[in-house]
Amino acid sequence: MKSDIRVCRAWEREHDRPVYTLATTCPACGADAINSAPAPFDPADPYGEYRRALRARHQG
Ligand SMILES: [Zn+2]
């Protein structure tokens, strides 16, 4: 079964954590909401590297 849950495409930039929605746009910032099929913390997450870099920048 296909999930209709979407996640804010810009959450890494706009929010502290993924913002999930059933709409096609983020209710918080208005950015596009994309299919959230890959788990946010999946080791194969294509955004993992970017997220780690972002976190490192916050700590630095
Ligand atoms: Zn958003």
In-domain check, residue 1: no
Task: State the pLDDT at residue 48.
Answer: 67
Predicted TM-score of the model (pTM): 0.56
Q: Please name the residue that has the structure tokens 């920048």.
A: 57
The boundaries of the domain holding residue 53 are 6-59
In-domain check, residue 48: yes
- Can you say how many angstroms the Cα of residue 29 is from the centroid of all Cα atoms in its chain? 12
In-domain check, residue 14: yes
Question: How many domains, the chain?
Answer: 1
- pLDDT of the chain, 60 residues: tens digit per residue: 566 899 999 999 999 999 999 999 999 999 999 987 655 555 566 666 777 777 777 665
Contact 33, 18 (CB under 8 A): no
Query: What's the CA-to-centroid distance between 32 and ligand 1, angstroms?
Result: 8
Query: What's the CA-to-centroid distance between 49 and ligand 1, angstroms?
Result: 20
Distances (CA, A) of 48 to 1, 9, 26, 38: 26, 14, 20, 11
Cα 35 to Cα 49: distance, rounded to the nearest angstrom: 19
In-domain check, residue 27: yes
In-domain check, residue 52: yes
Query: What's the CA-to-centroid distance between 22 and ligand 1, angstroms?
Result: 13
